[in-house]
Amino acid sequence: MIGGFPEVVSIQHHGDQRVSGIDPEAMQSAEAVELDQSMKIAVVLRTDLEPWQRLNVAAFTISGVASQDGAVGEAYRDASGNRYLPMFKNPVLVFGAETDEMARTVGRARSRDVPFSIFTRDLFDTFNDIDNRAAVAAVAAEGLDVVGLAFRADRRIADKVLKGLKLLR
């Protein structure tokens, strides 16, 4: 694979005659890259959060995306042989949303059956997963004060969910 494209290989055939072709394994990799590029990962954060809260919410919500099959690639290795944890196959785009925009985004994701992770304002007062899940479970969907969400979806669907939002700066 060279730059995301299948590598052309040369095959010795009948004496000095060369026949060129596409490496089948590289072609499968190219198809996987094309499939991965059809997906988008998005994090949406409320713009009224403090900087430390934005970082905290982004970290927690993106962990839900990492749990999805196919979201994470292979482990990394450096030239010295050290191994590093794998990362997402797709770029992660971070958007900002006012309170009403967040509610609209949550509604759009639900109406399109896009699985997403959420972080509610109540979770700033909890300190473990059990209490986090209990805080969300205690509030009906329409009453959740969602301050962040993250998802991975087909690019066309993601664009519809995110319509009108701007990248967070």
Closest CA to 161 of 38, 37, 43: 43
Q: Tens-digit pLDDT profile for the chain (169 aa)? A: 444 433 333 333 444 444 444 444 544 555 555 556 899 999 999 999 999 999 999 999 999 999 999 999 999 999 999 999 999 999 999 999 999 999 999 999 999 999 999 999 999 999 999 999 999 999 999 999 999 999 999 999 999 999 999 999 9
Q: What is the identity of the amino acid at 9?
A: V
pLDDT for position 12: 39
pLDDT for position 7: 39
| Cβ atoms within 10 Å, residue 37 | 13
Bridge partners, residue 116, by sequence: 151
**Whole-prediction pTM:** 0.80
